[in-house]
Structure 1
């Protein structure tokens, strides 16, 4: 009985981790929003900042909200599935953009 209790407690975060995750998510959303609304940055800097903040937010949400921990066996399995999903999504989106670009060039 104690092993299931310990296992259940490992799967859930504390209120403090959820609040920390929420505040960091708000900050990571507000920074690019402020940059876009200010309009004083170049497009390149804005796109890079949005991309970096998006990647940081993905990592933050996977660790604090979804409790993905690559140190455990279950976490490594989840990481493998996540990696497969990211590769598949990248191929689909990249292939779609490539096809649309070629159609645009060839139909002009």
Structure 2
């Protein structure tokens, strides 16, 4: 066996087919992801336009939760991330993404809360000139 054949055989032993890893990049898989993404986009619009919740903070929490779910849908159906592929490195990328999303969402809520309190003083008639 030549050196090239040994190298190719070693490559073939370590190279996995996507189907072995549970990744199915099929039309049906992409359509499932697309339908989920569209539904997860329409629901927040309905929540805001229909004034579904009395408190805006409840609506914000629901919308941010749906946004987080949509990120996971995109990662699974379009980026094909799971625990088996790439020797677990995709799982590390998933954890890193979740940490970034939590920091971004909680930071956004914190900033919006403080902007609302600091930029919109109470409308007290005695304070008006």
TM-score under structure 2 normalisation? 0.57
**Any unmatched runs of 5+ in structure 1?**
none
Q: Tell whether the 8 Å contact from 1:68 to 1:75 is kept in structure 2 after alignment.
A: no
1:15 aligns with 2:27: yes
Q: Which one has the bigger helix percentage?
A: 1
Q: Higher relative contact order at CA 8 Å, sep ≥6: structure 1 or structure 2?
A: 1
1:24–1:7 distance in 2 versus 1, CA, 3 Å = same
Runs of 4+ in 1 over 3 A off after TM superposition: 8-12, 84-89
Query: Who wins on radius of gyration, i.e. which is larger?
Result: 2
Identify the residue that residue 96 of structure 2 maps to in structure 1. Answer: 84
The Cα shift of 1:6 comes to 6.5
Q: CA RMSD in A?
A: 3.2
**Any unmatched runs of 5+ in structure 2?**
1-7, 119-129
The Cα shift of 1:24 comes to 0.7
TM-score under structure 1 normalisation? 0.66
Figure out how many residues of one structure are paired with residues of the other and give that number: 95
1:13–1:29 distance in 2 versus 1, CA, 3 Å = same
Deviations 1:15-62 (A, max 9, x none): 001011101100001001111111242312211110111111111111
